[in-house]
Structure 1
Amino acid sequence: MTGVTLTNAVKKYGEIQTIFDVNLQIEDGEFCVFVGPSGCGKSTLLRMVAGLEETTAGQIHIGTRDVTHVDAAERGVAMVFQSYALYPHMTVEENMGFGLKMTGHPKADIKEKVAEASRILKLDDYLSRKPKALSGGQRQRVAIGRAIVRGPEVFLFDEPLSNLDAELRVDMRVEIARLHKEIGATMVYVTHDQVEAMTLADKIVVLRAGRVEQVGTPMDLYKDPDNKFVAGFIGSPSMNFVTGTVQDGKVTVPAFDGRKISTEVALPAEGTPVIVGLRPQNIAVSAGHTAMLDLRERLGAVAYDHLICADGAKIIVETRGEDSLEEGAAVALDFDDTDVFLFDASSEARLR
C-alpha cells in the first residue's frame, strides 16, 4: 500500500476553473475523507486521483510514481461508486472476479482472491446469488469486494452510501471502518455527510468552491476550526452564530441579553462587529426571558430546542432529560466564555 500526494493540483473546463491549487499529503494506510457541500469539487478531485478527470496543472503522485498523466487503469487504484454497477446476469462471485478475468488472471488465482474478499465482507452465503436477490447494502458490499480483489494500492470511494436508507448507511459505515482496519489500505472517501466524515476519517479535507478550507483530524477540525465555514460544517447540529460587538475589551452579545464575553483572543478595534460561535451543547437553558422556545425536536434522551432570541436571532440548544418547558415558554440562556469561538465579521477567519 502507499500514499497519495497532490501538488498545486488544478482542474479547468475551458475557462471555468473548479479546483484551485490543491496541496495535500495522504499518508500510507490513512483513511482520508473529502467533505463539503454539493458542488464544492470533492468528487472532481477524487476523479483526478483516479485518472477519470484530466489534471489541468500540478502533479499527482501515488507513492513515488508521478501518475498525473497516467491512464486510470495503470494507476493502481480501485474505485467504488455511488451506483453499484453490478452485472445483473452474473452471480456475486462472477461480479467480484470479472475484472481479474478480463485481465487474464488464472482461474485458481481469481477464486482465491474472491474467496478472501468474500470472507472479509461476509458474503460467503451470497456468492451464487444474482444482484436482484440482494439488498442494497449487500450489493454495495459486492461492489467493494470487486475493488478488493484487484489488490489496489489505493481505494477510492465516491459517496458509496448515498443510495442506502438511514439504517443501512450506519451498518455500511461500520463495515467500511472494519474493512480499513483489517486490510490497512490507503482509502480516500468522498461524502457530503459530515457524520460519515467524523466517524470514518483519520484525516478530513474540508472543501468549498474548489479550495481546501482546512485539513486535520476530525477532532482537530471540531475543536479548532480555522474559519466560520469549517466551524459550521463540522458538528451536528451545526454551530450557532450570532453577532457581537467589541466594547471595552470584551465582546457584547445582544442575542444573549447583552452578555459580555471575556477573552484573551486578540480583538479588532472598539465598536467592530465580530461573529460569535457557540455549539448547541455548550449553551445552558434556565428560567428567564432571554429567548423563546419556538420548537422542540425530541430524539429520546436528547432534544434540540429551537429558540428565538430577543433580537430575533435563531439558535439551537441541545438538552438532555425531560423537563416541563412547553413551546412558547420564555427561557434564559448562558454559556462558559471558554466555549466561545470568535470570527472576523468580514473575512470569517477565526480570531485567535
Structure 2
Amino acid sequence: MSGVTMNSVIKKYGDVQVIHGIDLEIEDGEFCVFVGPSGCGKSTLLRMVAGLEETTQGQMHIGDRDVTRLDPSDRGVAMVFQTYALYPHMTVKENMGFGLRMNKHPKDVIEAKVAEASRILKLDEYLERKPAALSGGQRQRVSIGRAIVRGPEVFLFDEPLSNLDAELRVEMRVEIARLHKEIGATMIYVTHDQVEAMTLADKIVVLRLGRIEQVGAPMDLYRDPDNKFVAGFIGSPAMNFLHGEVSSDGVEIAGLKQVVATELGNRRHGQGVTVGLRPEHLMIDPAGDALTVDLVESLGGVSFAYLLTENGERIVVEERGDERVKEGQRVGLKFETHRLYFFDNDSEQRIRD
C-alpha cells in the first residue's frame, strides 16, 4: 500500500503558521490534485510529503510507515519540479539513469529500468540527445522518466506544466493522465490551474490560506460546492456572483430584475444573500432589457458574452450556436431555478434548502 495520510499536519516558520492542521487521506493508486491560488500552501504541503519541508506538528504516513521525521531519500517518493533540472552535459539516457548509478545499481538493472521508462514516455528516439536538443515538453518527459526509474511509492508533481506553452500543456496533461493509467501509482499533483485539476484528478483538494476548503471528485466539487470560494474556483469561466435579497416570494436578484421562488430555511425578509450562476447554465433572452452586452469573446465554437447590470455587476454567459449577441445590445437572461446556488454573505458558506 502506498497511500498518503496526514493527521493534524502543521507547518510554521518561526511564529508564522502557514499550514493549519491538515487532515487528509489519499488512497493507494489515487491521483490527487492540490489546487488553490498563489500562497495557499499547496506547494508547501507537497514539499512536506517529500520531506523537503519539516513537519512542525502532526504525522505524515506513506502506506503503513510513519515518515514524519524520515529523510527525503528514505520516504519512497520521487518529485517532478516546475524546472526540469536536467544535466546539460548528459544524454537523455544518462539523465534518466543518473540516480540509479549514484546508488550503485547494477548496469543491467539501470538499462532495463531506463528502457521501460523510455517506452512508457515514448522517448526511445531521443535517448542519445542532450537536453539542449529537446523541446520543453520532451525535457519534462525526461524529468518524469527520471522519477519513474526510481520506482517510487508516490509520485509528486510541483506545477510541472507551468513553463510550457498552451499547446504543450494540453499534450502533457494527456501524457500524465496516460502515465497514471499505465503504472497505477499514487500521484500528488500541485497546480493553480483548475482546468488541470478537473481533467487529471481522481480527488481534488481545494486549499486557501493553509486550510482545506473542500475535498472531493472533480464533478462533485463542480456540482456541489460547500462555499463561495470553491464555487468560484472550480469551473471555467468562474461562477457569476450577484447580490440577492430575501423576499416574501423567494429571492429577488436586483441586477436581473427577477424574483426566484425558493426556500432558504429561516432566512428573514430583507436579508442579503449571494446568488451564484454558472456561465454555461445561462441563456440570453433577446426580448429582455435588464442587461447591456459590454464585451464578447469569440472563440469559434463558443463565445463568452460579458453583460453589465444597471448597478454595475458583471455576468459572463457562455453562448453556442450561430445566433450570438453583439456589443451594446440590451438583453435579458433565462435560467433554471435548480441551477442557482445561494451563499451566506457573512460566512460565504452554501445555503442548502
TM over 0.5: yes
* Contact preservation (8 Å) 1:19, 1:41: yes
Question: Cα distance, 1:110 vs. partner?
Answer: 0.2
Letter in 2 for 1:303: S
Question: Cα distance, 1:324 vs. partner?
Answer: 5.7
Question: Cα distance, 1:266 vs. partner?
Answer: 1.9
* Contact preservation (8 Å) 2:249, 2:260: no
- 1:71-120, Cα deviation, whole Å (9 max, x unpaired): 00000000000000000000000000000000010000000000000000
> Counterparts in 2 of 1:194-273, with a 5 A limit?
194-248=194-248, 250-257=250-257, 259-273=258-272
Question: Cα distance, 1:267 vs. partner?
Answer: 4.8
Question: Cα distance, 1:21 vs. partner?
Answer: 0.4
Tell me what 1:27 maps to: 27
Question: Cα distance, 1:249 vs. partner?
Answer: 5.0
- 1:101-147, Cα deviation, whole Å (9 max, x unpaired): 00010000000000000000000000000000000000000000000
Tell me what 1:276 maps to: 275
* Contact preservation (8 Å) 2:250, 2:263: no
Tell me what 2:125 maps to: 125
Unaligned 5+ residue runs, structure 2? none
Q: Distance in 2 between matches of 1:182 and 1:151?
A: 14
Question: Cα distance, 1:339 vs. partner?
Answer: 0.4
Letter in 1 for 2:162: S
Q: Distance in 2 between matches of 1:235 and 1:56?
A: 34
Q: Distance in 2 between matches of 1:281 and 1:265?
A: 24
Partner SS, residue 289 of structure 1: coil
The yes-or-no answer on 1:317 pairing with 2:320 is: no
* Contact preservation (8 Å) 1:249, 1:270: no
Question: Cα distance, 1:271 vs. partner?
Answer: 1.0
The yes-or-no answer on 1:164 pairing with 2:164 is: yes
* Contact preservation (8 Å) 1:29, 1:184: yes
Letter in 2 for 1:239: M
* Contact preservation (8 Å) 2:306, 2:317: yes
Tell me what 2:107 maps to: 107
Tell me what 1:140 maps to: 140
Tell me what 1:57 maps to: 57
**Residue identity (%):** 67
* Contact preservation (8 Å) 1:246, 1:267: no
Q: Distance in 1 between matches of 2:230 and 2:324?
A: 35
Question: Cα distance, 1:290 vs. partner?
Answer: 1.0
The root-mean-square deviation of aligned C-alpha atoms, in Å, is: 0.9
Partner SS, residue 155 of structure 1: strand
* Contact preservation (8 Å) 1:31, 1:201: yes
Q: Distance in 2 between matches of 1:56 and 1:119?
A: 41
Letter in 1 for 2:132: K
- 1:78 and 1:318, CA in 2 relative to 1: closer, same or farther beyond 3 A? same
Question: Cα distance, 1:309 vs. partner?
Answer: 1.0
- 1:304-328, Cα deviation, whole Å (9 max, x unpaired): 0000012221110001022263210
- 1:278 and 1:267, CA in 2 relative to 1: closer, same or farther beyond 3 A? farther
Q: Distance in 2 between matches of 1:65 and 1:249?
A: 57
Letter in 2 for 1:241: F
Q: Distance in 1 between matches of 2:110 and 2:71?
A: 24
- 1:23-62, Cα deviation, whole Å (9 max, x unpaired): 0000000000000000100000000000000000000000
How many aligned residue pairs are there? 351
Q: Distance in 2 between matches of 1:324 and 1:140?
A: 41
Q: TM-score, normalised by structure 1?
A: 0.98
Which shows bigger deviation, 286-295 or 19-28? 286-295
Letter in 2 for 1:281: E
Partner SS, residue 215 of structure 1: strand
